[in-house]
Amino acid sequence: MNYESLSKMIDHSLLHPTMTDEILRKECGVAVKYNVASVCIKPYAIPLALEELKGSDVLVGTVIGFPHGNSSTDIKVIEARAAAAAGAGEVDMVINIGKALGGDWNFVQQEIKAVNDAVVKNGSILKVIFENDYMTSVEIIKLCEICSALKVAFVKTSTGYGFNKQENGMYSYRGATAEHLKLMREHSAPQVQIKAAGGVRTLKDLIYVRSLGVSRVGATATAVMMDEAKALLAAGEDLNSLVEEDHQLGSGY
């Protein structure tokens, strides 16, 4: 395990609604500094990201139907096509959550197919976001089977914004969990990659999900993780030794 094998697992997430252009430019610089796989940026900011990342091999990714997946299929296709045409090499689409929970699998499959076809036709790849906080194992497995049949590039756990309202009126959010990541890897075709989003905040988190078969993570704590990795590798540490079977994602913050 070397530095690049870890840095190229990271999609540096730049999706918070309060982000200004100044912040986005600064964070694109972070992505270049740590040589991550991509930035995951809001659709309107694709041109900005392309300009800031020029000369690097950091890809531009974006989101569609984000964060709740409620746009019509036609609008998601238009969004996806426009994003790919604008230069987004990777497109993360939120499924129609209500249709999945209601068991309308024909709708869900047709929507994913329509968006995947549009993205692939324009030379990009699709990541399908399930929003696992709302799903049971039954729905997660079915979604993995659909995405495998359609040969999408990635299945992804979460948006980072799928908050569940509790009985006391407060909202909670788990994001990626070991249980769900194992389930997704088990029930997805070998060529379908897994992306963990939400809860991967430390180097131990990153190495742990890698051990579960995850090849990409959405993260905001890029600098924290990669600075630690660089220091440990420089000291001759074996990063594989950080993996613990009972590791709890996000426990470091």
Q: Which of 76, 127, 156, 204 is catalytic?
A: 156
Which residues lie across from 196 on neighbouring strands?
A: 217
Is 54 known to be catalytic?
A: no
243 vs 88 pLDDT, higher one: 88
**3-242 homologous superfamily:** Aldolase class I (3.20.20.70)
- Say if residue 49's pLDDT is above 70: yes
Confidence of residue 252 (pLDDT cuts 50, 70, 90): very low
Minimal CA–CA distance to 88: which of 53, 62, 122? 62
| pLDDT at site 174 | 73
Is 11 known to be catalytic?
A: no
Q: Rounded CA gap, 202 and 164, in Å?
A: 24
pLDDT digits (tens, 9 = 90+) for 136-159: 999 999 999 999 999 999 999 999
Q: Rounded CA gap, 204 and 199, in Å?
A: 11
Backbone angles phi, psi at 153, to 5 degrees: -75, -45
Q: Are 93 and 109 in contact (CB under 8 A)?
A: no
Confidence of residue 253 (pLDDT cuts 50, 70, 90): very low
Using a cut of 0.85, tell me whether the model's pTM lies above it. yes
Q: Which of 92, 142, 204, 205 is catalytic?
A: 92
Minimal CA–CA distance to 175: which of 145, 214, 229, 228? 214
How many CA within 13 A on the CB side of residue 151?
2
Q: Rounded CA gap, 238 and 168, in Å?
A: 45
Is 92 known to be catalytic?
A: yes
Mean of the pLDDT values across residues 67-75?
96
Q: Rounded CA gap, 14 and 88, in Å?
A: 14
85-117 CB burial, b ≥16 within 10 A, e <16 = ebbbbbbbbbbbbebbeeeeeebbbebbbebbe
Confidence of residue 164 (pLDDT cuts 50, 70, 90): low
